[in-house]
Amino acid sequence: MKRDRWYILFGAVLIVSSALLYLLHYAIFRDAHHIYIYLLSDIAFLPLEVLVVTLIVDTLLSSRDKRAALEKMNMVIGAFFSEVGTSLLRDLCRFDPAADSKRSLLARRGAWKDTEFAHLRNELRDMSFACESRAGGLEPVRELLVAKRDFMVRLLENPMLLEHESFTDLLWAVFHLTEELASRPALVGLPGADLDHLSGDMGRAYGLLAAQWLDYMRHLESAYPYLFSLAVRLNPFDPDAEATIDTA
């Protein structure tokens, strides 16, 4: 409300100032005809000025701001995968009954082409990311997520997440899985209904993680090839992945 009043007051000051200047011009030169000509000319130019300023300049500035915001958002996503995402993907693969099909598709090394990314995205869209919580010990997953919980809470506080809905959904899914695992005193001997529920939570986070990981890999490949090289060598879908470069 105060801001609206300030705008109204500022607009009124500008109008009064313009009127006073025109009166001063008339008082000095006594030439109303000249004032009317330039006043009409200025008014006629206003639509063109609005077009240039609001539709062209503003669009260019908005586009630049969006690119800058997206770049910062990708930095946040990169921090997430460095701290949590890559390790969590590797862990969740152990609970995937169809992990071999995903490994055969995604466990690749070397350069990736744009056409490959598009093909992989379509393949992932049609895949099931169901997890079976009974397939292994849940304690390592809980230890990882609990250790990184404060980090994920700080990510959720980042206002840039409003611009990236898919990553926000991923963070909420991973954070929910963290709370589910952390809320149970023991993860051994759980009832069947509990294990089924955890399987669903793990599958939700797993699917969102895989899709976001592929999008992030595409960004690295095009913008930061040196980071992409390391990310490929640490591919969470590759059981033999290691950072060491094999020149053999």
Give tens-digit pLDDT for 29-48.
677 776 667 667 677 767 77
- The least confident of 15-29, 32-46, 77-91, 94-108 is 32-46
Evaluated on CA atoms 145, 147, 149, 155, the torsion sign reads: negative
Give how far Cα 96 sits from Cα of 119, 130, 179, 202, Å.
22, 6, 21, 10
On the question of pLDDT at 212 being above 60, the answer is yes
Q: Quick one: pLDDT band at residue 2, thresholds 50, 70, 90? A: low
What pLDDT shows up at residue 23?
79
What pLDDT shows up at residue 68?
67
- Of 119-123, 206-210, 236-240, which one has max mean pLDDT? 206-210
- The least confident of 93-107, 125-139, 208-222, 232-246 is 232-246
Name the more confident of 1 and 195: 195
Q: Mean pLDDT of all residues in the chain?
A: 82
What pLDDT shows up at residue 210?
92
Residue 108: HSE in the Cβ half-sphere, 13 Å Cα cutoff? 14
Q: Quick one: pLDDT band at residue 144, thresholds 50, 70, 90? A: very high
Q: Read off the tokens for 122.
A: 């379509």
Which of 196, 197, 200, 206 minimizes the C-alpha distance to 129?
A: 206
